[in-house]
Structure 1
């Protein structure tokens, strides 16, 4: 398990490390928003193992929810992630946001409704890992739920752009 303590980061490598740390400690749910998943590191084998574990052990129906503005990067570059979502359609889902939410660009992950990894801006790596931060996580989850409800499900197990 990666180090799991509050910290700030300023590189993409540190961002991906914080993402993996949050995935490693999640026991119930993961909510991820990223405009395109390009910098999230979800395709690496350690992230896939953590997501697979969560899908197998979580008591929640949709344990892993991922929301993007565009699914083309996942379609081209994340075959293991797409296969995982296809294998766990009852536990994992990927949706594309609707047009009114395209202005939201702050990537984030909320684990178990209380741990947060976020970058402050889509165009840079600076961000933070916040542990047991229910104030930030509830604000981000409210935004996530709003975008999720109007998002469009993707076709998993097949090219996402269909």
Structure 2
């Protein structure tokens, strides 16, 4: 395969946390510009692991226009339990946005991670371990990307790189 060749699309079902974390790592690794994440709290997703922090740091360092948008129902968990992600937020404040869901967006119950417009990890319901991962598959990613945009419209900034007011 040449450097500019498009990777073959792949799609598979996942049934556990370890498989999901490996799939999330693959989705993040496939990103070229933008990562979008929707979750309740980010717990059990590996976002405080040293390897995930290194992977995200490499993503930000490789391009000044790289962005990470996170929409959470409960961002307090991230503040308490994900110091590595908060360190990245302080190091790359113009690249990371962390928002809290509002209104109807609070009804969303299917966490996902999207890379650009081509790869997605999608858990069918936050209480069930079943998920899918579609890599280099815009057709599978587009509906979830549209869903993220709908959720993002109903969010407000929740976690910033500064501690103003303390």
Both proteins in one fold, TM over 0.5: yes
The superposition leaves residues 105-159 of structure 1 with CA deviations (integer Å, 9 ceiling, x where unpaired) of 1010111211010111100211111012212321111121122133111232357
Q: Any stretches of 5+ residues in structure 1 without a counterpart?
A: none
Tell me what 2:72 maps to. Answer: 68
Find out whether 1:119 has 2:112 as its counterpart: no
Shift of 1:69: 0.7
Tell me what 1:106 maps to. Answer: 110
1:84 to 83, 88, 106: 88
Question: Which runs of structure 1 show a deviation greater than 6 angstroms over 4 or more consecutive aligned residues?
Answer: none
Tell me what 1:54 maps to. Answer: 59
> Greater Rg, structure 1 or structure 2?
2
Tell me what 2:5 maps to. Answer: none
The aligned length equals: 156
- Kindly report the root-mean-square deviation, in angstroms, between the aligned alpha carbons of the 2 structures: 1.9
Matched-pair contact (CA < 8 Å) for 1:94–1:154: yes
| TM-score normalised per structure 1 | 0.87
Q: Which has the higher strand share?
A: 2
Alpha-carbon distance between aligned partners in 1 of 2:159 and 2:132, rounded to the nearest angstrom: 32
